[in-house]
């Protein structure tokens, strides 16, 4: 049960903060803190998906309603366009990206993208809202999201960094990243189960499975709430510093 709590905490927090959930989960395995099955991994992702759906339920309703009845499809189309690259890359290059799982690579990725996040957030303009993000910008963010398949990069981190580089303000960058996680996480759950054996996936007991989903959903909701409040008044600098320190710690551990 303690292992389940740790995995739920790490998945729910690191999925939405720009620090890399896949990198943290791999490092937990590397340090021998916790084991993780494919079935449990799918349930943890399902919990984070529910967290986004609950927190952004009004936004999702407005996006769908506007697209259907107000003929305002820009945000919906931007999300679709930004999702396509990672879908294609995940389907075609899944095993290639899985081969990049190594603690040194995760550490270097964490440091490098932490520095990029800090520089972009500090020096990029901050005037744009999502209404001013065109299809080309959405596609660029989608291409950047492909890099999140590499452990240590961070899906939320790379999409927020790219959005900031395009001049989107912090709050809107975080909002777009969270909304973009909905189709991405849905695809991840399906693909994890598919890669686990087309239905022949060993799942945890029903009580542990329900606990995993609920824990991850609850803590994921709190994490999103924290992030959306944080970006209204503060920068991404604290997350960049954490990434750099984590990477240096892992490298120091391996070398010495």
Per the structure, the complete domain to which residue 23 belongs is given by: 2-255
pLDDT computed for residue 38 by the predictor: 66
Q: Return per-residue pLDDT of the chain as tens, 256 residues.
A: 667 788 888 999 999 999 999 899 889 888 887 666 666 777 888 999 999 999 999 999 999 999 888 778 999 999 999 999 998 998 888 778 777 788 999 999 999 999 999 999 999 987 788 888 999 999 999 999 999 989 899 999 999 999 999 999 999 999 999 999 999 888 878 877 776 555 555 656 677 778 889 999 999 999 999 999 999 999 999 999 999 999 999 999 998 8
* Coil, helix or strand at residue 126: coil
Total number of domains in the chain: 1
Instruction: Give 238's contacts (C-beta < 8 A, 6+ positions apart).
Output: none
Give whole-number Cα distances, 39 to 5, 143, 156, 192, 235, in Å.
16, 28, 23, 8, 36
Helices (H), 31-169: 38-55, 57-69, 74-98, 103-123, 135-146, 155-165
**Is this structure's pTM higher than 0.75?**
yes
- Residue 141 phi, psi dihedral angles, 5° rounding: -60, -40
Give whole-number Cα distances, 15 to 64, 72, 134, in Å.
24, 30, 26
Radius of gyration of the chain (CA): 18
Question: Are 215 and 8 a contacting pair, CB within 8 Å?
Answer: yes
């Amino acid at each position: 049960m303690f292992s389940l709590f740790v995995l739920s905490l790490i998945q729910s927090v690191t999925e939405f903060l720009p620090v890399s959930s896949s990198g943290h989960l791999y490092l937990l395995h590397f340090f021998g803190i916790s084991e993780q099955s494919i079935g449990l991994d799918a349930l943890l992702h399902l919990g984070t998906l529910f967290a986004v759906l609950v927190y952004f339920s009004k936004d999702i309703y407005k996006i769908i309603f506007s697209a259907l009845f107000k003929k305002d499809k820009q945000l919906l189309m931007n999300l679709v366009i930004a999702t396509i690259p990672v879908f294609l890359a995940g389907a075609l290059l899944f095993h290639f990206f899985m081969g990049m799982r190594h603690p040194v690579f995760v550490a270097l990725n964490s440091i490098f993208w932490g520095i990029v996040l800090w520089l972009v957030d500090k020096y990029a303009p901050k005037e744009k809202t999502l209404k001013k993000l065109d299809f080309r910008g959405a596609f660029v963010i989608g291409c950047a999201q492909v890099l999140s398949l590499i452990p240590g990069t961070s899906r939320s981190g790379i999409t927020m960094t790219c959005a900031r580089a395009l001049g989107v303000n912090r709050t809107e960058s975080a909002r777009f990243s969270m909304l973009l996680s909905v189709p991405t996480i849905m695809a991840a759950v399906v693909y994890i189960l598919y890669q686990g054996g087309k239905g022949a996936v060993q799942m945890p007991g029903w009580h542990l499975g329900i606990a995993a989903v609920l824990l991850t959903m609850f803590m994921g909701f709190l994490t999103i709430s924290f992030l959306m409040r944080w970006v209204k008044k503060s920068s991404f600098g604290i997350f960049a510093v954490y990434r750099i320190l984590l990477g240096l710690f892992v490298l120091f551990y391996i070398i010495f």
